[in-house]
Structures are given as structure tokens and as C-alpha cells.
Amino acid sequence: MSGIFETDTADSTLFIGGQRISGAQVRNQNVLAAASIANVVKTSLGPVGLDKMMVDELGDVTISNDGATILNLLEVEHPAGKILVELARQQDKEVGDGTTSVVIIAAELLKRANELIKNKLHPTAIITGYRLGCREACKFIAENLAIKVAGIDRDTLRNIAQTTLSSKILGNYGTRFADLTVDAILAVKRTDFRGKPKYPVSSVGILKIKGGSAQESQTINGFAIQRPFVSQAMIKKVESAKIACIDFDLSKVKMKLGVSVVIEDPEALEAIRKREGDITRERVSKILAAGANVVLSARGIDDMYAKMLADAGAVAVTRVSKEELRRVATGTGATIISTLSNLEGDEVFEPACLGSASSVEQLTLSDDDFVVVKTLKDSSCSTVLLRGANDHLLDEMERSLHDSLCTVSKVLESGSVVPGGGAVEAAVDVYLETLASTLGSREQLAVAEFATALLCIPKQLAINAAKDASDLVSKLRAYHSASQQPQANSNRQALKYYGLDLMNGSIRDNKRAGVLEPAINKIKMLKSATEAAIAILRIDDLIKLLPEQQPEDPHAH
């Protein structure tokens, strides 16, 4: 029972049925957990990174080199490890790329902080130094490294998409998918209430169809829904489509549970049955009377009513996912209707709820039927049709495409890029090291370690490319050091855009080579990694409660 008061012991048992680990031991455990997670993903970093194969308990296989996907599929038990998994997930959600880098940097920051603590530097001083380092690094990136690209041309966008795709499975197909990405994201342009342009990635649909080569992938100006028309009797194409988006069943109305009707006359029973069918028939008639010739439903449509629609020359698609239905409704100007009842209790379908499209057509590709909704000229929507050999390949292609869509979207919205290939990390390392030497406090050590930790990215890039990491990183630092000298002329200042050329194992001007990334990616990555490292660094006590043991029932046997 005295264990809870023994604060100087590293490990003590609590009287409440659990375990307590304090001080250096808990820090070492946390750092080890973070390093283990970084070790899992670090070989997948960069254009020559390797893929991981994950097999779950059901035997489902996932092959990927996307950091967030890999970590999501791992069953991480350690609490500090879970923080890093959440960090990668957040980076993927906010920015879409840089998920592997953010985990590697966070783990490196923790490792270096732990060494400083062993050398008797207090965690609070390290946290202050890290915060200072992160703030100065973000400021330096925004002021000195970010390249403003006003009126972004197509070539720049293609380079940005290509940089993201180079480390993915789609990087092997030249600029094919970079062009698809740019076409898809430019098609979904819209403006917010302040008049600023927005490029929502969620407006780009991705449809995966097995069979065919990846080179056969294409962009469709409209929506593609991986469902056929509900009946073979329906016409295959509708021009000048008026679309009704509904979220209720068009099936025979059944009485609610708990409702009982006592009938003595068998004819009255038949009348009730007939009325149940007539209610839905009237609903279909009201939808058709409003001018609808296409019905997209999130629920089912019975054969009887599908025949009614087919006889009227209308087409219908059932079981459309809610997300796709929302996307179609937004792009065509339709309103999703969940009930026909108005405020007075009458059933009406307003023509104003219909959306418009130039055509709706059912197509077939390698035995898969799908419906294409071609929108009007001024609509902001697009769909990328991905072709591939099997499901594993298509899933990884979708993840890769999503990342490149996110990066191009971020550049179009923020308007600034930075050179890739470890250029930013090397430049910030040189800058922070100089800054650290001007600090007259204990934080100097933490800022210097923060700077050195950033070099783990160019080092890992070089290692994954089977190049001499020490040699390349030393050269890269020399270039950036020369560019930051006070007397540096314009030729020397251009050295700040120099990064790694991993194919040839040399240093090159990555701005000229077109290896570009969104500036916001790097800034978000540094901020997130620092916050995660600080959150884990603040922990100096781990109290783990054991699951309560149920007392055995003596009468059980």
C-alpha cells in the first residue's frame, strides 16, 4: 500500500489494482514506442520507398506505402504509439500528404529530447526550446523558402502532382496521372462566401473498375455511379435530364408495427391491400408529374414501380450511397428529399427540388455496369475513372490519387510552394543552428537538437535510395550554409532551392527541376510533429489499471 507514496521508485504497484511507472523508465518506454512506429514506416519514404503488406485477422491483404494507411491498420497498444498514429491520421485529413515524414520527425524529436534529459536538462526547458525552434522554422519557411505562385500555370500544378505521385504506385506512369489530377481538381472550382476560390477534394469522385491497364484511366466531367439502372427495360440514355434525389423507399407501403386492423369482410381486406400499392403508385406519379426523368434513390425501388418509371421513359438507380447522392445533388442543383409530406401533411413533389444534367447514361466496362451523369457546363464536379488489374492495386491507386488531389488543391488555395527533396529540412537545420548559437539560455541545446532532428528526412530519403546518406546530407548542408551567409549574392541565394536528386545520387536545383510541394504541407508537418513530441515529452508518470477480476461463482460447477 505504501507504493503510491514512493515517488522516487521507477515502478510501483498501486493499492487500487494497477501499475505505476515513473520518471526515466516511462520516458524510455515512450521513446521506444515512438521509434518502433517510425521504424515501421520510414523505409516507405520518398520516390524510391518500399511498400508494406498488411494482413488482418480475416486474411484481408492491404499493400501500401501511405503512412496513415499503414499506421491505421496496425494494432498499436502503447498509449504513446497511439498519439503518433493519430498524428498521421490528422496530417492525412488536413493536408493529405506528408504522413510518413511527420511520424519520423516526431520520433526523432523525442529520441533527441530523451538524450538531453539524460544529460540533466529539464523537460520544461526542452519543451520551450522545441516551441521556439518550431515557431522560428515556420517563420523562416514562410519568409525565405516559400515561392509565391500567383496565377498558377498548368505546368506548375503538374509538377506538384508529379512530386506527390513520385513516391506512390502511380509515379511509374509518367505524367499521365498528374494530368488527370490537375484536370479533376480544376473542374471542381467554386467560390466561398468571401469570394475566395475553393477546390474541395470531396467533390472529386473516384470510381474503380477492375480490368484494363492503369493507362486507360480517365477523367469524366460529371459523376459516375457504380450501379446499373434498376430495370433492363429502361432506356440506356436520357438527354436533358431532370434528376430527383430521394432518400425513401419506393416499395409497397406496409402498416406500421403495432397497428392491427380487424376486418370481417374479405373484400375490405383486398381493398386495403390495393390501397397499400396505390399509395406508392401515387408517389411515383407525383415525382414524374414534377418533370423528373431520372430518379436516384438511396433506398430500394420495387419492380412494380420500376416498370411504371420505365413505361414513362424515365430511368432509376437504387442503393446509391449517401455520399454519392449528396455529391450528385450538389453538382446538379437537386435537393435530397427524405419525405414527400409538406407542413400541411399533404404529399407533394416540388419541381424546384429537381436537379439538371445534360445527360444520364448507362455504360459497361469489363462486365461492370455504371451510370454516368454528365453535368451542365457551369457545374463544379468531376470523376476519375481508375482502371487496374485487381482490387489491391486499385485501392492503392485511389490512395495515391487522393494524396495528389489534396496537394494540388492546397497549392491552388494557398498559392505558395517550396522545393522538395529535403531542401526545406536542410535549410531550416542550417538556419536554426545559427540561431541556437545566439541564444544565451539553456534552450540553446534544445533548439540545436530540434535543428539536427530535421535532417532525419534527407538522410532517410538517401538511405531509401541506396545512396551515401552522410556524403549527400553534408553536401546539401554546405550548399544551404553558403546561401545563408550575410554576404551571399543572388547566385548564392539560389542555392537555397537545392535538394537531393535521388535517381542520380547528387544535389540539384529542385525549383528548376520541378520538384515542388505545398508550403502549407511543411509548416503543418513541423507544427504537428512538434506538438505530438511535446505531448509525449510532458508525460513522466504512467498509471495503468488492471482489468477487474470477476469473483468466481462457487455454485458454477
pLDDT of 474-514, one tens digit each?
999 999 999 888 876 767 777 889 999 988 889 999 989 98
User: Please, what is the end-to-end C-alpha distance for the chain in angstroms?
Assistant: 35
43 CB burial (10 A radius; 0-12, 13-18, 19+):
middle
Say if CB 533 and CB 456 are below 8 A apart: no
Which of the following is catalytic: 62, 66, 164, 383?
Answer: 66
Q: Which amino acid is at 39?
A: N
**pLDDT above 70: residue 454:** yes
Which of the following is catalytic: 100, 332, 375, 383?
Answer: 100
CA distance linking residue 209 with residue 370, whole number of Å: 9
**C-alpha to C-alpha distances, 397 to 99, 214, 380, nearest whole angstrom:** 17, 9, 23
Q: What is the mean pLDDT of residues 420-428?
A: 92
Q: What is the mean pLDDT of residues 159-167?
A: 89
pLDDT of 387-419, one tens digit each?
988 888 899 899 999 999 999 998 988 889 999
In the DSSP assignment, the letter for residue 319 is S
Q: What is the mean pLDDT of residues 275-292?
A: 85
Give domain 222-380's CATH number out of 3.30.70.260, 3.30.420.10, 3.40.605.10, 3.50.7.10: 3.50.7.10
| pTM value surpassing 0.85 | no
Which of the following is catalytic: 69, 92, 97, 99?
Answer: 99
99 is catalytic: yes
In the DSSP assignment, the letter for residue 504 is T
SS3 63: strand
Q: What is the mean pLDDT of residues 153-180?
A: 87
pLDDT of 351-383, one tens digit each?
999 999 989 999 888 788 889 998 876 667 888
**pLDDT above 80: residue 349:** yes
SS3 365: strand
pLDDT of 65-94, one tens digit each?
888 888 888 888 888 888 889 988 888 888
> Which residues are registered as beta bridge partners of 275?
none
In the DSSP assignment, the letter for residue 351 is G
CA distance linking residue 167 with residue 502, whole number of Å: 11
Residue 557: partners with Cβ closer than 8 Å, 6 or more residues away: none
What residue ranges do the domains of the chain occupy? 2-148+419-544, 222-380
Q: What is the mean pLDDT of residues 251-267?
A: 76
Model confidence at 181, pLDDT cuts 50, 70, 90, reads very high
Say if CB 318 and CB 299 are below 8 A apart: yes
CA distance linking residue 469 with residue 188, whole number of Å: 42
Q: What percent of the chain has pLDDT over 90?
A: 38
Q: How many helices (H) and strands (E) does the chain have?
A: 18, 22
41 CB burial (10 A radius; 0-12, 13-18, 19+):
buried
Q: What is the mean pLDDT of residues 521-549?
A: 88
Predicted local distance difference test score (pLDDT) of residue 7: 41
How is residue 379 written as a grid cell? 457545374
CA distance linking residue 190 with residue 196, whole number of Å: 8
**pLDDT above 70: residue 224:** yes
SS3 543: strand
Which of the following is catalytic: 97, 403, 429, 501?
Answer: 403
CA distance linking residue 531 with residue 326, whole number of Å: 35
For residue 398, give the nearest of 211, 124, 226, 169 by alpha carbon. Answer: 169
403 is catalytic: yes
Predicted local distance difference test score (pLDDT) of residue 75: 85
66 is catalytic: yes
CA distance linking residue 67 with residue 92, whole number of Å: 9
The domain covering 2-148+419-544 belongs, at the CATH homologous superfamily level, to: GroEL-like equatorial domain (1.10.560.10)
**pLDDT above 70: residue 2:** no
SS3 58: coil
- Using DSSP bridges, classify how beta strands 237-246 and 355-365 pair: parallel, antiparallel or unpaired: antiparallel
Q: What percent of the chain has pLDDT over 70?
A: 94
Categorise residue 186: left if φ over 0, alpha if ψ from -120 to 50, beta otherwise: alpha
